Structure 1
Amino acid sequence: MRRLLFALSISALLGPVLFWPARLLAKEDPVQWSLAPAAGGHSLELKADIQPGWHLYSPTTPPGGPIITRIRISENPAIAEYQVYRPQPVRKLDPNFQIDTETYAGAVTFLIAVTPAASASGKMALEATIRYQACTDVKCLPPVTKKASAAFSFAADASSYRFRAPAGYALVAAEAAKDAPPVQASSAAAPVRSFTAGDEPLLPFLITAF
């Protein structure tokens, strides 16, 4: 009986500790995405609103570190092709990975130029899928995949229109727009913590205490 009571006491004590990190991470959602037609009927604007202290990674971030931001448009018979353009990121040493990374903070807008198929007509629903990773200077969340959608109508001259990116924007290479397996950080990189600095797991202490 004493052993049963002891086991129940340990379960009650350790239960909240075991699941605390997962609950903490589940509450954090620092990046919100929205998709909207750009003026002119030739492109879409995909905007990320990023909470203060957080950042996400440009498609141009060098390999060997975080998960870069990847954007694609779901298959649609009205779309012949599309191209993603990104603004200029900030390049600096990332304390989480100990390599130079290229990041966006605050708010960032990607442009998606779309070319209509011959059968395109009227208003349609377009959907973007975004795969990304959000980090602060001391921790990173697991990679996330989100979707954003918008109603869109092509301009009358869309089939012959040649999209020109505004100043400060560059075309994202096709390879960076595709889904890819995560790149493993180099062995020299600092380990990335998935919980706030200073919050150490209590499980080893509790086990040794008993």
Structure 2
Amino acid sequence: MKKVIAILMILFALSVNAQVYNPVKWTTSVVKISESEYELIAKAAIEKGWHLYSQTVPEEGPLPTKFSFDGKGEYLKKGNTKEEEGHVVNDPIYGMKIKYFENKTIFKQRIKIKDKAPKQINANVEFMACDDTKCLPPKQVELLFKIK
């Protein structure tokens, strides 16, 4: 009986450890700028004590936040994805000055529709979240921008 209880405790501990922690939650919205231009907005809500890195980080640093948009030829990207100011700090994990975001941040991408506006635009964001002592493995999240 003791062996059965020990095995059950080990299985329970493994299942608790296997749960993925996600301190960054993403939401999307779309703002119409003109008849053919839209701004795609991705908002990141970041749990207290965690941070999300900028799209531009030094070499040998952490994985930068990266956006990829699935265009299917329906639109053109206008410039690069813009990000907020953020904080530049001496990161204790990487030992270098790195720009990152705490609490929340917004990324914006302008697009120009070629012909008929699509009903939605699919995108992916790849990012890495860290606190002051550790980083979680890189994560990729699918984003959906609904155009009204």
| Structure 1 and Structure 2 fold alike (TM over 0.5) | yes
Which of 111, 115, 120 is residue 114 of structure 1 equivalent to?
Answer: 111
Which of 58, 62, 66 is residue 66 of structure 1 equivalent to?
Answer: 62
Which of 2, 12, 27 is residue 34 of structure 1 equivalent to?
Answer: 27
Higher fraction of strand: 2
- For structure 2, list consecutive stretches of 5 or more residues without a partner in the other structure: none
Number of residue pairs matched?
A: 144
Q: Which has the larger radius of gyration?
A: 1
Shift of 1:35: 1.7
The alignment's TM-score, normalised by the length of structure 2, stands at 0.82
- The answer to whether 1:46 aligns with 2:46 is no
Equivalent residue number for residue 21 of structure 1 = 17
Equivalent residue number for residue 90 of structure 1 = 87
Inter-CA distance 12–35: structure 2 relative to 1 (3 Å threshold): closer
Please state whether the residue corresponding to 2:18 is helix, strand or coil: helix
The alignment's TM-score, normalised by the length of structure 1, stands at 0.60
Contact 1:76–1:126 under 8 Å retained in 2: no
After the TM superposition, list the runs of 4 or more consecutive aligned residues in structure 1 that deviate by more than 6 angstroms. Answer: none
Which of 85, 97, 102 is residue 100 of structure 1 equivalent to?
Answer: 97
Q: Distance in 1 between matches of 2:137 and 2:110?
A: 29
Q: CA RMSD in A?
A: 2.3
Q: Distance in 2 between matches of 1:136 and 1:36?
A: 27
Please state whether the residue corresponding to 1:38 is helix, strand or coil: strand
Q: Which amino acid aligns with 1:116?
A: I
Q: Distance in 2 between matches of 1:111 and 1:126?
A: 14
Deviations 1:141-189 (A, max 9, x none): 1111101212226xxxxxxxxxxxxxxxxxxxxxxxxxxxxxxxxxxxx
Q: Distance in 1 between matches of 2:94 and 2:17?
A: 21
Equivalent residue number for residue 79 of structure 1 = 75
Inter-CA distance 34–20: structure 2 relative to 1 (3 Å threshold): closer
Inter-CA distance 12–130: structure 2 relative to 1 (3 Å threshold): same
